Structure formats: C-alpha cells, structure tokens
Amino acid sequence: MINKGEIIVRGGTGGDGCVSFRREKYIRFGGPDGGDGGDGGDAIVVASSSVVDLGLTRRQREFVAGDGRGGSGCRKHGRKGVDLAISVPVGTMVLAKADSGEEMPLADLKMLGESVLVAKGGRGGLGNARFATAANQAPEIATRGKAGEERYIILELKLITDICIIGHPNSGKSTLLSAITRAKPEIADYPFTTRQPVLGVVPDVRRDFVMAEMPGLVRDAHLGKGLGNAFLRHAERTKLLVYLLDGSSPTATDDLSTLEKEIALCKGLSQKPRIVAVNKVDLPEVQARLPQVKQHFAEVGMPVYYISAVSGQAVLELVRKAIAMVDRASQDEARTEQPQIAVFRPKPRK
C-alpha cells in the first residue's frame, strides 16, 4: 500500500482569441467578429471508492488538464478545456508545497465524492470583437490564452477506521482480525507477517464497523526499529485502539507499557479510548499463570479482556464492548463538532 506521494499538477492553457472580420455580400460594414478562446480545464482531486492507495503517484508524475480551444470568426468562442479529475482514496489529505518548502493544507477528503480544486485553468484570450470602439472600429488585435496554474501537490493517505488493533509481532492480530471480520490477512508463525495495514468490516445490526490491523509495534519503533511507527498515522482517525497482548509471552505485563510509550509519542493517539485484550489464554502455560496476569492488569485503568482468537473465547464480548465504545466516541465527536452559534448581545445605551 502506497500511503504518500508527490505530484505536479497543471491547469490547462486558455485558447487564443481570434482576429476576424465579417465579410459577406450585401453587408457593407461587417466589422470585427473574432471570438474569444476557451478557458483551460481545471485540475481537481476527488475522493473515490475505485482506488485503495496512492499508487498513481508512482505510475505518473505530472498531471495536466485539457487546453482550451482557440476562438474563430462569426464570434464563435472556443471550447473550454476538459477538466482533469485525479481519483484518490477516501481519507486522503491534499497539501500544496510552496517554493520555500512550506506545506499548506488544501483539503481533507473524508467523505466519498468530496473534491478540491488544486490547479485552475488559464483564461482564454479575447478576440478582436472585444476591442471595437467608436474610435477604432476595425481592431486587428487579439490576446493569447493564459497558462494554467501549476502546483506541487502532496497526497497523504490516512485510513478512516472505527477500530485499530495494535500489538507486538506474533501477538495474534491477524488471527483476531480474521475471526471478527471477513478479511483474509496473511497468518504465519514468524514476526512482521503484516507489513501494511489490513482492513476488515465488523458486521452489526445498525451499521458496519471498519477494523484495521496495524503492523507489529516493537520497543523503540519511533527510532526506526522493526518496521518503525510511520504506519501509525493510519490510526489517527480511528475511534478506538485495541491493545492486543500475547498471553504466552513472559513479558506480557511489560508489553502494555511498551505500547503505551510508543503511542504517547504519536500526536493525536494518546487521547484515544483504549481496550486491552490478552490473547492465547487457551494455551495450558497461559492458563497456569493467568491469575498473576489478571492481578497485574487489574489496575491498568482500561477494560481488559482475556480472549483466544483461535477458539473464539471471549471474542464476542470484546467486540460488543468495542462497538459500544465506538458509539460513545462517535457521539462525543459529533457533539464537539457542532458549530458554535454566535450570539450578539449589544450593551444598552447610556
């Protein structure tokens, strides 16, 4: 999955104006009749369901809208250039890069069909009919079409999900995702099986919830160890984090603090609601030390579930709790996003 890319976008060039005079039989003073050129096409970035990543930035570097057609006689205006629509996945942030290197956000395409104009087409030139005056009744001048706007655009994809599963390598994230959703991630007994976020859909009576599995997170991932933590930007839009811990690991009690430290270093993730799920409790060695593990996690301040992604033990309870927390987070988010109505209270006159 390609999550970030840079492209050059140009609007179409406007068509040239036309110099023409009306010359017809039985018409003594035809006068100028040159038409205007058509405007250049605009370049637009639109959120579409037909693409899943930003692979277009690898296949193509420059995107140019259609040029406008030139004007002609009989005051015929040129055709407008064809607009260019660049399809990107839903959740793509569009930024314009200035010559100084500063990145200016243009739009955040969170909804299907949302679009933003990134490069406007140039205006078409004026025909000589525009320049006719009482003093100059036969002008022989016209203007050229202007070049379209050119911009250096940065596209960055951030997945829009409801639930994100985060954990260490081999903690059973892929197994849990496949048990809850219809996703078919690669499952193997070696670390870093998942190298890109994997999406799945959790069916529910009211609506479907989108769940994502993040690649394995290790200690000092912010320093580049393992697969790093760049993929965590996909969790910035999620409503709930599920910490999945390997119950068979001798350091299971320390793994949670490691995840918390790495998440705290990512802006916007430390305030997300969280659930702890201890996996592989069906194994005999985990059953033997389960009382000590439960005693340790009794005071973590988060809901803790002891599950088995293979056998399905307590998985349904985990899903129900996750859906309830997502609904609560959605209500809080909608409440904070309500526009504030300005109320003017003029002071009484003295």
The domain limits of the chain are 4-157, 163-336
Confidence grade of residue 318 (pLDDT, cut at 50, 70, 90) = very high
- Render pLDDT for 160-195 as a digit per residue (tens, 0 to 9): 889 999 988 888 888 899 889 888 877 776 667 776
Which residues make beta-bridge pairs with 198?
A: 213
- Render pLDDT for 268-301 as a digit per residue (tens, 0 to 9): 787 889 999 999 999 998 888 888 888 888 877 7
User: What was the pLDDT predicted at 190?
Assistant: 65
Q: By C-alpha distance, which of 5, 119, 124, 15 is closest to 60?
A: 5
Average pLDDT over residues 135-140: 90
Question: Among all chains, which residue has been given the structure tokens 């609601």?
Answer: 273
Instruction: Give the orientation angle of helix 315-336 with respect to helix 173-180, to 10 degrees.
Output: 80
Return the top range by mean pLDDT from 114-128, 166-180, 250-264, 299-313: 114-128
Q: In CATH terms, are 4-157 and 163-336 the same topology?
A: no
Q: What is the mean pLDDT of the chain?
A: 86
Average pLDDT over residues 312-321: 91
The CATH code that applies to domain 163-336 is 3.40.50.300
Question: Among all chains, which residue has been given the structure tokens 């984090």?
Answer: 241
Question: Among all chains, which residue has been given the structure tokens 């799945």?
Answer: 200
**Residues whose CB falls within 8 Å of the CB of residue 292, separated by 6 or more in sequence, listed in order:** none
Look up the pTM and report it. 0.73
Domain covering 4-157, topology: Spo0b-associated Gtp-binding Protein; Chain: A, (2.70.210)
Residue 262 has pLDDT above 90, yes or no: no
* Positions of E strands within the chain: 4-10, 43-47, 62-64, 84-88, 92-97, 103-109, 115-119, 150-157, 163-167, 198-202, 209-213, 240-246, 274-279, 304-306
User: What was the pLDDT predicted at 302?
Assistant: 84
User: What was the pLDDT predicted at 115?
Assistant: 93
**pLDDT above 90 covers what percent of the chain?**
39
User: What was the pLDDT predicted at 29?
Assistant: 74
Please state the separation of Cα 43 from the chain's center in Å: 18
Residue 336 has pLDDT above 70, yes or no: no
User: What was the pLDDT predicted at 55?
Assistant: 85
**pLDDT above 70 covers what percent of the chain?**
92
Average pLDDT over residues 15-36: 87
Residue 44 has pLDDT above 70, yes or no: yes
User: What was the pLDDT predicted at 252?
Assistant: 77
